[in-house]
């Protein structure tokens, strides 16, 4: 290993040299930062500036580079030096752009800049160049689970990109629910008439594609391994098991219809003339095959009147039925209404709705149905009763605000979708605990839940992907659609959220692209997302490990198991590099080469600490690099000023914050600490899913520590920050700074 040689480079561009004394910063880097080489340049990101740095790396033996210039989020391509450790001091967005250009602000602006130079020098000396993980797998085959439209689309798109695909379908044929459709909702202008369902064409293309291997009447018996090296045991129709090696997995297992038997008040099960949307599709296909019109199931006579009941068992505020909108049902009812009107314009066709939602085609398809004579009426149905071969639909007319009724030969319930996502993991864990000392009945409950498993993962966290509260596969709906909490496993289509066929095809295409990114990065030992390309991975100093299992339990992605001696065993290709394990470790033995307790701790200690008489407090901000730090950068870009006494350190995630940073900062004389992380909960925005939630839970314990130190608990501030908060965030920082000033200096200042 080459001997460490450090170098600091200070940029004068973007008016940095007009706002701060760069020569003074160079002295700080030399004397306090103890950099072996210090250079100034007019524009470091220019070709000449980049060449200057590269020349020092090549010819001067520089191994550790500290850049004092713009934000670490800017000019990443220009400042890409993969063979050296690199830290960056944010002098542009973090100093000159958030401070007013006035004479009375010059002193504090210069002090900020000097501290950021001290911090970047301290950070780089505690970093190493990540070597990359040589143990990751290089298999690039994509597994697609589910042969409906979503699964077929994902397989075809991955194949078009040049990747081998294994496609597993539990039924005897491809197509899923779409194969049962007589027609599909139109997908192109002028959105007037239903289209062919397209399943036969897709299935034929898959059959002719040499890149795609299909298993029908098959399920997954076991999934083991990691991105780039998954092993899939497939139970096939003969009863035998075959094994496939794959690099990434797409779960496109679709949905089942909500059970209309749970809606007896709407007549289902009481009259054969009350059907759900799938039931009507079957009637329509039967009619098309026979050349006859759609007929009543009760007596086989042609339907002369039909009522469609929207949101049947959906958008239910009581919690008894589905609380969400399934998204596609209104368009499906419009499509099905055209079946009748195109067959016979005299058929009385009514759609009862509370809100009509037609994603993907504006109002064009709705208008085309109106032009055919379909009646759309705003009403809430209270009851459907059988009346011989007809049904009475009782509803409240929301326009006239009166109760009324309609007679119909056929009633169609828009019941919506329930994702086929496997068992809910927390409920399964509870059932397993109950079964350990329970009855045969409790053990059977576990078996029934396991029968629903889709992936049968051998992860300690459970056999399937975690769910949202309504049973949809967990995925980051804002920043990283398709991603789940199992690295290299992606959700696509209606198993991820309610959607129609066209949306499912777009979704599956995106999931295929993410799966490809995952297998490529796994082969290189790189993180897939959100720290795409990061070669670092966690290691543990086992001689200091207490085997507390906190890292194992708290990892949001199932990347840590235990070896035979019960020490943490890192599965690097599952790791997202969030650092949650590092924040969880009470003895601080877990670290990354380029991010550790020391890289942050040394930055905290590097700040020049004014004495208690200076009236210059110091406030530490630990800002999530995914939302809070970008928001601070954008505040700077918008020239939104905030207090000069804060010092910002970006962290990978709030979950990576180790409590020692808080106590060290307060012991060092900081007057306050602000934690800025993402929103957590059911509508989380944390890029690492559980990171901010776990970090906040840990920080709640710090308040007891503050009391033990005889410090006010308000010296620690926890704040949820979204990337869109750039306009309001400076005001919140300023308000907290005023609060700290009112408290007075920390009693530890000057000790």
- 396 shares a domain with 312: yes
Question: Nearest to residue 683, comparing CAs of 480, 466, 469?
Answer: 469
The mean-pLDDT minimum among 152-156, 405-409, 468-472, 671-675 falls in 468-472
- Select from 129, 150, 176 the last residue of a domain: 129
| Torsion angle of the four alpha carbons 225, 230, 231, 237, in this order, in degrees rounded to the nearest 10 | 130
User: Are 414 and 314 in contact, with CB atoms under 8 Å apart?
Assistant: yes
Residues of the chain above pLDDT 70, percent: 99
The answer to the question of residue 349 being in a domain is yes
Note the pLDDT of residue 468: 86
Q: What is the CATH number of the domain that holds 321?
A: 3.50.50.60
- 113 shares a domain with 3: yes
Structural domain total, the chain: 3
pLDDT averaged over every residue in the chain: 94
Q: What is the pTM of this model?
A: 0.91
- 308 shares a domain with 336: yes
Question: Nearest to residue 393, comparing CAs of 270, 303, 309?
Answer: 309
- For residue 285, is pLDDT > 60? yes
The answer to the question of residue 629 being in a domain is no
d(CA 328, CA 261): 21
- 475 shares a domain with 408: no
How remote is the C-alpha of 423 from its chain's centroid?
20
Q: What is the pLDDT of residues 580-602, one digit of tens each?
A: 999 999 999 999 999 999 999 99
Backbone φ, ψ for residue 243 (5° rounding): -115, 135
Q: Which residue spans within 303-429 are E strands per DSSP?
A: 305-309, 348-353, 375-387, 390-397, 402-408, 410-413, 417-419
Note the pLDDT of residue 545: 94
Q: What is the pLDDT of residues 670-706, one digit of tens each?
A: 999 999 999 888 778 898 988 999 998 888 888 888 8
Q: What is the CATH number of the domain that holds 1?
A: 3.40.50.960
The answer to the question of residue 613 being in a domain is no
Note the pLDDT of residue 587: 94
Note the pLDDT of residue 437: 79
d(CA 467, CA 252): 14
Q: What is the pLDDT of residues 614-648, one digit of tens each?
A: 889 999 999 999 999 999 999 999 999 999 999 99
**Reported confidence tier of residue 282, pLDDT bands at 50, 70, 90:** very high
**Reported confidence tier of residue 1, pLDDT bands at 50, 70, 90:** low
**Reported confidence tier of residue 611, pLDDT bands at 50, 70, 90:** confident
Question: Nearest to residue 359, comparing CAs of 481, 175, 503?
Answer: 503
- For residue 478, is pLDDT > 80? no
d(CA 571, CA 259): 41
- 413 shares a domain with 304: yes
- 277 shares a domain with 242: no
Question: Nearest to residue 411, comparing CAs of 490, 337, 512?
Answer: 337
Q: Which residue spans within 354-481 are E strands per DSSP?
A: 375-387, 390-397, 402-408, 410-413, 417-419
* 436 to 424, 449, 553, 662: CA distances (angstroms): 19, 15, 21, 41
- 282 shares a domain with 230: no
- 164 shares a domain with 261: no
d(CA 219, CA 213): 14
User: Are 429 and 345 in contact, with CB atoms under 8 Å apart?
Assistant: no
- 470 shares a domain with 359: no
Containing domain of residue 353, as a range?
257-419
The mean-pLDDT minimum among 117-126, 257-266, 431-440, 457-466 falls in 431-440
Q: What is the pLDDT of residues 319-377, one digit of tens each?
A: 899 999 999 999 999 999 999 999 999 999 999 999 999 988 888 999 999 999 999 99
The answer to the question of residue 25 being in a domain is yes
- For residue 303, is pLDDT > 60? yes
For 292, the 3-state DSSP assignment is coil
- For residue 135, is pLDDT > 70? no
- 356 shares a domain with 266: yes
**Reported confidence tier of residue 751, pLDDT bands at 50, 70, 90:** low
- 307 shares a domain with 247: no
The answer to the question of residue 441 being in a domain is no
d(CA 588, CA 498): 43
- 398 shares a domain with 366: yes
DSSP summary character for residue 732: H
The answer to the question of residue 452 being in a domain is no
Q: What DSSP string describes 210-264?
A: TTEEEESS-EEEEEES-TT-EEEEEE-TTS-EEEEEESEEEE---EEE--GGG-G
d(CA 522, CA 513): 14
């Amino acid at each position: 290993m080459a001997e460490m040689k450090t170098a600091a480079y200070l940029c004068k561009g973007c008016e940095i040299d007009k706002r701060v004394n760069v020569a003074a910063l160079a002295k700080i880097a030399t004397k306090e930062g103890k950099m072996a080489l210090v250079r100034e340049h007019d524009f470091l990101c220019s070709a000449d500036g980049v060449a200057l740095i590269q020349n020092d790396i090549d010819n001067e033996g520089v191994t550790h580079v500290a850049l004092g210039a713009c934000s670490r989020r800017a000019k990443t391509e220009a400042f890409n030096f993969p063979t050296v450790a690199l830290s960056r001091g944010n002098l542009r967005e973090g100093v000159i752009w958030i401070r007013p250009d006035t004479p009375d602000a010059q002193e504090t602006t210069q002090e900020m800049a000097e501290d950021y130079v001290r911090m970047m020098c301290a950070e780089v000396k505690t970093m190493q160049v990540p070597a990359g993980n040589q143990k990751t797998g290089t298999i690039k085959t994509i597994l697609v689970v589910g042969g409906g439209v979503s699964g077929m689309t994902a397989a075809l798109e991955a194949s078009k990109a040049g990747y081998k695909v294994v496609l597993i379908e539990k039924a005897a044929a491809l197509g899923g629910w779409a194969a049962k459709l007589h027609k599909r909702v139109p997908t192109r202008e002028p959105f007037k008439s239903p289209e062919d369902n397209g399943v036969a064409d897709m299935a034929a293309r898959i059959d002719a594609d040499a890149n795609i291997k299909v298993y029908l009447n098959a399920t997954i018996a076991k999934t083991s391994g990691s991105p780039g090296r998954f092993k899939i045991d497939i139970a096939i129709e003969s009863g035998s098991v075959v094994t496939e090696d794959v690099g990434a997995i797409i779960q496109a297992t679709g949905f089942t219809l909500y059970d209309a038997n749970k809606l007896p008040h709407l007549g289902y099960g009481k009259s054969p003339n009350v059907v759900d949307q799938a039931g009507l599709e079957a009637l329509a296909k039967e009619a098309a095959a026979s050349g006859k019109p759609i007929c009543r199931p009760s007596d086989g006579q042609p339907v002369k009147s039909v009522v469609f009941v929207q949101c049947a068992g959906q958008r239910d505020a009581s919690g008894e039925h589905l609380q969400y909108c399934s998204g596609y049902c209104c368009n499906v009812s419009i499509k099905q209404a055209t079946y009748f009107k195109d067959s016979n314009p005299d058929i009385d066709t009514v759609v009862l709705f509370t809100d009509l939602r037609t994603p993907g085609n504006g109002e064009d398809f709705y208008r085309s149905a109106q032009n055919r004579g379909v009646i759309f009426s705003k009403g809430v149905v209270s009851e459907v009763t059988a009346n011989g071969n007809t049904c009475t639909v009782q509803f409240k007319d929301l326009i006239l605000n009166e109760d009324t009724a309609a007679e119909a030969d056929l009633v169609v319930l828009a019941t919506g979708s329930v994702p086929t996502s496997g068992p809910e993991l927390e409920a399964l864990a509870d059932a397993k605990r109950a079964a350990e000392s329970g009855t045969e009945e409790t053990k059977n409950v576990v078996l029934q839940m396991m029968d629903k498993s889709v992936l049968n993962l051998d992860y300690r966290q459970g056999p399937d992907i975690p769910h949202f509260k309504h049973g949809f596969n967990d995925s980051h709906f804002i920043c990283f659609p398709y991603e789940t909490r199992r690295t290299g496993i992606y959700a696509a289509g209606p198993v991820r959220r309610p959607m129609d066929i066209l949306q499912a095809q777009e979704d599956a295409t995106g999931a295929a692209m993410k799966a490809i990114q995952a297998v490529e990065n796994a082969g290189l030992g790189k993180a897939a997302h959100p720290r795409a390309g990061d070669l670092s991975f966690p290691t543990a100093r086992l001689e200091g490990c207490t085997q507390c299992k906190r890292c194992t339990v708290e990892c949001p992605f199932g990347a840590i198991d235990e070896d035979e001696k019960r020490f943490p065993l890192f599965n690097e290709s599952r790791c997202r590099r969030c650092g949650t394990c590092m924040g969880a470790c009470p003895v601080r033995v877990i670290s990354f080469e380029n991010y550790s307790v020391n890289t942050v701790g040394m930055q905290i200690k590097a700040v020049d600490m004014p004495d208690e008489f200076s009236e210059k407090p110091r406030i530490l901000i630990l800002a999530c690099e995914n939302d809070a730090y970008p928001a601070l950068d954008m505040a700077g870009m918008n020239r939104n000023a905030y207090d000069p006494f804060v010092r910002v350190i970006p962290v990978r995630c709030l979950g990576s914050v180790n409590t020692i940073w808080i106590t060290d900062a307060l012991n060092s004389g900081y007057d306050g600490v602000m934690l800025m992380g993402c929103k957590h909960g059911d509508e989380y925005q944390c890029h690492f899913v559980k990171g901010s939630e776990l970090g906040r839970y840990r920080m709640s314990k710090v308040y007891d520590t503050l009391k033990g130190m005889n410090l006010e608990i308000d010296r620690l501030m926890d704040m949820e920050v979204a990337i869109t908060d750039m306009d309001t965030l400076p005001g919140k920082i300023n308000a907290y700074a005023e609060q700290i000033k009112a408290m007075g200096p920390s009693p530890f200042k000057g000790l």
